[in-house]
């Protein structure tokens, strides 16, 4: 069975409460349950942290074992060379997701250090972007995980 990790960065633990006009009123935990019911053919894992090092550690831990990564690094998207390097260091394909359209927001949000290290980027489609990213990763022809 394929394994896909959904990795959320800072402040995404506040989904459903934080700026509902931008991010909606649904918690990610609730949405993750929907994803698990929708994608029964894959083992979905979810991890969120407000700490850059914890996100790096998680990529390092699963990057040689999982079949794909859906990453919404939050504000680290625009600042973290370390996360970009971690994505380059592992063979696991990744799709970058943003709930809001980052190109319709402040100019500092228009640049992503992660996009060039990912298969693609989905932004502005709300939580639906996660579902589309998982579908894309499932459609990829991915080599079996390397067991280390």
Residues known to be catalytic: 23, 98
Q: Is 72 annotated as a binding residue?
A: yes
d(CA 109, CA 55): 20
Q: Is 50 annotated as a binding residue?
A: no
Phi then psi dihedrals of residue 3, to 5 deg: -120, 130
Q: Is 135 annotated as a binding residue?
A: no
Q: Is 80 annotated as a binding residue?
A: no
Q: Is 45 annotated as a binding residue?
A: no
Which strands make up the sheet holding 2-8, listed edge to edge?
A: 42-48, 2-8, 68-72, 94-98, 120-123
Q: Are 59 and 87 in contact (CB under 8 A)?
A: yes
d(CA 132, CA 92): 17
Q: Is 59 annotated as a binding residue?
A: no
* Residue ranges of the binding site: 72, 78, 85, 99-100, 109
* Residue ranges of the binding site for substrate: 72, 78, 85, 99-100, 109
């Amino acid at each position: 069975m394929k394994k896909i990790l959904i990795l959320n960065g800072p402040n995404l633990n506040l989904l459903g409460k934080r700026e509902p006009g931008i991010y909606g009123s649904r918690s990610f935990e609730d949405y993750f349950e929907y994803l698990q019911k929708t994608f029964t053919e894959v083992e979905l894992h979810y991890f969120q942290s407000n700490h850059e090092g914890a996100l790096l550690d998680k990529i390092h831990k699963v990057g040689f074992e999982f079949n794909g990564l859906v990453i919404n690094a939050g504000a680290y998207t625009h600042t973290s060379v370390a996360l970009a390097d971690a994505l380059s260091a592992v063979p696991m394909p990744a799709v970058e997701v943003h709930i809001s359209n980052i190109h319709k927001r402040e100019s500092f949000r228009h640049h992503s250090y992660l996009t060039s290290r990912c298969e693609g980027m989905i932004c502005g489609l709300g939580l639906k972007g996660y579902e589309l990213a998982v579908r894309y990763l499932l459609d990829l022809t991915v080599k079996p995980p390397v067991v280390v």
